[in-house]
Structure 1
Amino acid sequence: MADLDELKRKRDQLTAKIQQAESRQKATAKKAQDRIKVLVGAAVLHQQTQSTEKRAALLALLDGFLTRPAERLAVLGEDGQGSEAFKQLVTPD
């Protein structure tokens, strides 16, 4: 009976190690995906803010994309023309 209990304990330890390894792997993959999203977003933001027309098109895209009130306010501002933070990002120095 002691052998069976020892085997179960080892199994439980191995299962825990597998779960930890899977969690680390998922976290690493998510970090890589998030980095790609940030870089793609920065490229699109740069490209879409080169002219007033492109900036307006970006605001229209964001207006249709953003659904959460807090996110809409953070990006579009109260008037829908861009928050102050958004305007600082898209206004050339």
Structure 2
Amino acid sequence: MATLDDLKQKRDQLNARIQQVEARERAQQKKADDKAKVLVGAAILEEVKAGRFQLQDLLGVMDRFLSRPYERKAVLGEDGQGSEVLHRLTGRE
């Protein structure tokens, strides 16, 4: 017959295994989410590059979306008209 200490040890081991599986599932979900975000971003950049989506519309969306100063500078640039990187990615160099 199992003692109380044995049962508690098994419970703790099971809880640890549950936490590992949950962490693995969260990591897989984040990876899938990140992949979808990258692909959506790439698609939008291609639409701007092809002229099917206006750069000014993208800048407006990003102006409303971005809140961190370093992110705003990276995408919108110093003047809010798009960073050099954004212009290069959209073929507007």
Give the structure-1-normalised TM-score. Answer: 0.87
Q: Give the share of equivalent positions with the same residue, in percent.
A: 54
Specify the code of the residue in structure 1 equivalent to 2:88: Q
**2:63 and 2:76 in contact (8 A); partners too:** yes
Q: Give the match for residue 36 of structure 2.
A: 36
Deviation (angstroms), 1:51:
2.8
Alignment of structure 1 residues 6-85 onto 2, 5 Å: 6-51=6-51, 54-85=54-85
Secondary structure class of the residue paired with 2:25: helix
Higher helix share: 1
How many residue pairs end up in the alignment?
92
Q: Give the match for residue 87 of structure 1.
A: 87
**2:47 and 2:53 in contact (8 A); partners too:** no
Unaligned runs of 5+ in 1: none
Higher RCO, Cα 8 Å, sep 6+: 2
Divergent runs of 4+, >3 A: none
